[in-house]
Amino acid sequence: MRLLIIEDDTALCDALRLHMTKEGYAVDICQDGLDAGYYLKDGSYSLILLDRMLPGMDGLTLLKKLRSMGCTTPVLMLTAMDAIHDRTDGLDAGADDYLVKPFAMPELLSRIRALLRRPAAMREPAVLDFCDLSLNVREHRLIRADKQVSLSMKETSLLELFFENPDKVLSRATILARVWGGDDAVEDGNVDNYVYFARRRFKALEANVSIKSVHGVGYTMIKGRANG
């Protein structure tokens, strides 16, 4: 599952990314309220962790805007503002839960799990389908008919991105941002390596699906087997 953290405290973002990743979540981080729309437009998230005090656009305004646009993704608001009216303002604006800073990480993780147990209409599907393949995101499995292969977390994240955007050309920058979270230490060659791994998975399953290179841009997943 992929989480979006909208928080301007860099140290807190680093800590949250570390703990969320250990729990098996993929994480994107945005540190400006005005930039959040870019992430929400290009990404599909299971849950949003939203700071109330943000540069560009404050969290409360951003949340109201998201809800007015029909966004139903669960939102857990994080803030140091702990007065009763602050909490009710956040909940009335559309937050699903409200946690006051400083908080204990076990409590945050518990609240995240509780929100993710809510009806599937508020979450991304556990299984994504394209052509003759199914991707079980939660169990990290790629399935075709009666055959299946197990995937690593990064392989799952990469294929999840392709399955959410079939027949679309995904740039290297988009893939790096979505799968590796924009980590500057990650080399561009990792994209090629993991695409190679995905192609091997498709071949092992004899799937009628392939990932095509688009010169100078990136990759696209299409129906049809690769040549060779």
Q: Say if residue 213's pLDDT is above 70.
A: yes
Answer yes or no: do 138 and 153 share one domain.
Answer: yes
Domain boundary among the residues 122, 146, 175 is at 122
Answer yes or no: do 28 and 61 share one domain.
Answer: yes
Determine whether 24 is exposed, middle or buried from the number of CB atoms within 10 Å of its CB (0-12, 13-18, 19+): exposed
Domain boundary among the residues 101, 122, 143 is at 122
The predicted pLDDT at position 131 comes to 94
Of 47, 6, 18, the closest CA to residue 183 belongs to 18
The predicted pLDDT at position 39 comes to 83
Q: Parallel, antiparallel, or unpaired for β 133-136 and 127-130?
A: antiparallel
Place of tokens 């949003």: 48
Q: What is the CATH number of the domain that holds 61?
A: 3.40.50.2300
Q: Distance between CA atoms of 67 and 46, rounded to whole angstroms? A: 15
Structural domain count, the chain: 2
More confident residue, 59 or 85: 59
Three-class DSSP category at 226: coil
Answer yes or no: do 136 and 199 share one domain.
Answer: yes
The predicted pLDDT at position 122 comes to 45
Tens digits of residue pLDDT in 127-168 = 889 999 999 887 889 999 999 999 988 899 899 989 989 999
The predicted pLDDT at position 42 comes to 61
Domain boundary among the residues 100, 122, 144 is at 122
Answer yes or no: do 208 and 106 share one domain.
Answer: no
Answer yes or no: do 98 and 132 share one domain.
Answer: no
More confident residue, 213 or 117: 213
What would the mean pLDDT of 181-194 be, rounded to a whole number? 72
**Domain membership flag for residue 228:** no
Look up the domain containing 212 and give its range.
127-223
Answer yes or no: do 195 and 113 share one domain.
Answer: no
Three-class DSSP category at 45: coil
Q: Is the peptide bond before 102 cis (omega within 30 degrees of 0)?
A: yes
**Are 105 and 96 spatial neighbours (Cβ–Cβ below 8 Å)?**
no
Answer yes or no: do 105 and 142 share one domain.
Answer: no
pTM of the model: 0.56
Answer yes or no: do 157 and 188 share one domain.
Answer: yes
The predicted pLDDT at position 85 comes to 79
Residue type, 12: L
Place of tokens 């809800």: 67
Q: Say if residue 102's pLDDT is above 90.
A: no
Answer yes or no: do 179 and 155 share one domain.
Answer: yes
Q: Quickly list H helices, 75-218.
A: 84-93, 105-116, 153-164, 172-180, 189-205
The predicted pLDDT at position 182 comes to 56
Tens digits of residue pLDDT in 7-53 = 999 999 999 999 988 888 889 999 999 888 888 876 578 899 999 98
**Are 25 and 45 spatial neighbours (Cβ–Cβ below 8 Å)?**
no
